[in-house]
Chain A
Amino acid sequence: MNASFKPNLKTLPGGVPGLALARAPLGHVAADACLCGGLLPGAVHEVFAAMAGAGAAASGFALALALRALAKPKWLLWVRQDFSALELGEIHADGLHDFGADPSRVLLLRAPDANAVLRGGADGLGCKGLGAVIVEPWGSAPMFNLTASRRLLLAARQHGITVIVLRHGCAPAPSAAETRWLIRPAPLAPDDEDRGIPRFDAALLRNRHGPAGRWMMDWDCNNGIFRTAHSRASVPPFTGRSVEAPLEDLRQAG
């Protein structure tokens, strides 16, 4: 770890001096209401794939969050573990472009293991040219603990870089994340229109500054913004703001 990347962690929870950035509205009315207006830039946000088959949906959701937080001339760094590319496929430039990202302003770091993912992501947070970093380890990487996420948070605040931690194949653990999302692909209802657009069953498990919630969210690739899904598919009612219920849900899903 860099010398400059070892802040005094004891002073952290009270609030860290950093850039005051405007929240980036997601475009989904109910979610924005819960998030006090939008996604907090310069913070750590976690996106968990709810089950084995949700990896691609979680990737899309993480990218969507990063794009919402990304200011125009800034770059996006995507750090992914090699195993992730074997399981889910490599990040594909044409797919990025179709999704609404600009592939010519995306850097891809192929990290051999989870340690390298963390290290590479932390390195990126020292670079003012980046607007967002997607950090994608595989499995229950033990080095992504509370301390590591606090360090990420400190570095993220310092330069106003949004960090999206994209996790596959593991259950949420305590962290310094501003928000934590659990993503499933949304099943189609028989009379749905727009059957091909990215649609997420997104559960906001943790929200540092507001209530939790669960919504069907559509991603509008043309305009780069979320929409309320006009789906007939039923969203199971979300009870309470405690993290316990969805966690149970997660365990059942495997």
Chain B
Amino acid sequence: MPAAKLGLYPGKALADARAMVPDLAVIRANEPADRKLLEAIADWCVRYTPLVALDPPHGLFLDVTGVAHLFGGEAGLLQDAVRKCTAQGFLVHAALATTAEAARALAQSKPGTVVPPGGEAEAVAPLPTDALNTKPHIIYALKRAGLKTIGEVVGRTRQELASRFGGSFVLLLERTRGRNGGPITPRIPVPLLMAERRFAEPVTAGTAIAETLLSLSKDIAVILEPQGQGVRILEACFFRADGQVRHVTIETGHAIREPTLIVRLFQEKLDALIDPLDPGFGFDVIRLSVLSVQVIPVENIGFDTRSCEQDVAFLVDRLAARFGAQRILRFLPQNTHIPEAASIAAPAQYTEPVAGPWRVERDSDGTPSRPLRLFAKAEPIIVPEEDLAGMPVRFYWRHALHRLAHAEGPERIATEWWHYQNPGHTRDYFRVKDEEGQHFWIYREGLPDRETLQPRWFMHGLLA
């Protein structure tokens, strides 16, 4: 039996409620979990329309403008949604009207109503004032004034209502009567373009899923082609028959339109998922949503031979889809002489190749002055001994002793004191070879006696 019929309502003290209904089943409220569940249901509802908004604590608005005919009309859509939600174990009340507020009022008091356009004022008039869903003190005041239904409230003049309850209440009242409807705020960004397939029998086979993605990509390509556009961000939504929804997004460095390429990127991504796509009892809807597009420069649309650069760009996309964009990198020079900052490795998908300038650090005889391999963090070494010129003679690195056969330096690199409050110490770099021929790039941090009494030594990189 509904709690309201027993005289229970939100906000009532638990002890009072128990006094009224001795065998009351009590469950502690978990608002975050309720919210999560509501969001999951909202995700599921995206199968009807991308415009789904939350109406906490337990409502959802769906803007079904222009999509109802796909589900057998407005009444058909409403029934379908209610039936499927009920089948998943939810108690659902739904109604359909011109404005969100009218639909909400009707869903609470007369679930299942589909109001013909323009009929909202008439439909909501007999509803109790609670259906307005406004602040409790307003409802209380309306009841105290003897206004039991929305129709009676509408009968008062607007000036009266506005001066007593504020302008926003008047607006709410108008909207509940199906006028001045405002847009809802969709929970997820509305895609620019969508293509989807619905299956009478849920699909589970990987090949069927790949086929579907391919044909959806073709649908999208057909629409984008006349505009000369390609996709940058594309989302595939897999709606499982049992209500779970899985989103998989791919991103490309350059706009692409070729359906086979798009499907290959999705394959890479699906293969690399940590928790793989689980069809369960099958997907009944698969949808591709284009979230970002870009114009494809005309010269790129070529014949069947793609250029080297495009090939490399696509390789980057594939590797990024598989390993993540942070793992496939390109090198970019930076305007600084601090060695670890002079060049950076940045995600190749988000950057364009930069031809340079790379500073030629080589000595005149062709000796490289920068190491091929640089440690992300310089490792401390122990230099027990320096010669009279301040050159190291031997050092310990990772507990191994290296006796030096050759040392070149110092190359003094001062810190960028004009950038930082506390720029750290000057470094003196040495290229040293030990007796085995291993080539190291080490530095002494801090000018002796000027910056520090006890200079420290570090291993920064390895030369070939």
Whether A196 pairs with B343 at a CB distance below 8 angstroms is: no
Answer whether A95 and B372 are a contact pair too, CB < 8 Å, given A56-B463, A88-B462, A184-B437: yes
B353 interface residue, CB < 8 Å from A? yes
Whether B463 pairs with A95 at a CB distance below 8 angstroms is: yes
CA A246 to CA B349, docked complex, whole Å:
43
B151 interface residue, CB < 8 Å from A? no
Distance to closest chain B CB from A148 (angstroms) = 18
Whether B328 pairs with A195 at a CB distance below 8 angstroms is: no
B23 interface residue, CB < 8 Å from A? no
Among residues of A, the one whose C-beta sits closest to the C-beta of B358 is A97
Whether A99 pairs with B319 at a CB distance below 8 angstroms is: no
Other-chain residue from B311, B323, B363 in contact with A196 (beta carbon distance below 8 A): B363
One of B73-81, B176-184, B220-228, B428-436 at the interface: B428-436
Whether A129 pairs with B311 at a CB distance below 8 angstroms is: yes
Whether A98 pairs with B370 at a CB distance below 8 angstroms is: yes
Whether A104 pairs with B356 at a CB distance below 8 angstroms is: yes
CA A222 to CA B380, docked complex, whole Å:
32
Other-chain residue from B331, B362, B439 in contact with A98 (beta carbon distance below 8 A): B362
Distance to closest chain B CB from A214 (angstroms) = 15
If A95-B372, A109-B327, A129-B312 are given as contacts, then 20 extra A-B residue pairs at C-beta distance below 8 Å, sorted by A number, are A55-B373, A59-B464, A60-B464, A63-B464, A85-B373, A89-B373, A92-B461, A93-B343, A93-B345, A94-B339, A110-B323, A112-B323, A124-B319, A128-B306, A185-B433, A188-B406, A195-B406, A196-B368, A197-B367, A221-B367
Cβ contacts A to B, 12 pairs, < 8 Å:
A57-B438, A73-B308, A89-B374, A94-B359, A95-B372, A104-B355, A110-B327, A188-B437, A196-B406, A196-B408, A196-B439, A222-B366
B322 interface residue, CB < 8 Å from A? yes
Most chain A CB neighbours (cut-off 10 Å) among B307, B309, B329, B354: B329
Other-chain residue from A77, A96, A197 in contact with B365 (beta carbon distance below 8 A): A197
Most chain A CB neighbours (cut-off 10 Å) among B319, B345, B372: B372
CA A56 to CA B355, docked complex, whole Å:
26
Using Cβ atoms and an 8 Å threshold, which residues of chain A touch B322?
Answer: 119-120, 123
Whether B373 pairs with A188 at a CB distance below 8 angstroms is: no
Using Cβ atoms and an 8 Å threshold, which residues of chain B touch A226?
Answer: none
Number of B positions contacting A (CB below 8 A): 64
Other-chain residue from B314, B330, B331, B373 in contact with A56 (beta carbon distance below 8 A): B373
B141 interface residue, CB < 8 Å from A? no
Distance to closest chain A CB from B344 (angstroms) = 8
Distance to closest chain B CB from A95 (angstroms) = 4
A146 interface residue, CB < 8 Å from B? no
Using Cβ atoms and an 8 Å threshold, which residues of chain B touch A164?
Answer: none
B375 interface residue, CB < 8 Å from A? yes
B342 interface residue, CB < 8 Å from A? yes
A36 interface residue, CB < 8 Å from B? no
Using Cβ atoms and an 8 Å threshold, which residues of chain B touch A59?
Answer: 372-373, 462, 464
B318 interface residue, CB < 8 Å from A? yes
A165 interface residue, CB < 8 Å from B? no
Answer whether A92 and B333 are a contact pair too, CB < 8 Å, given A57-B438, A197-B366, A221-B366: no
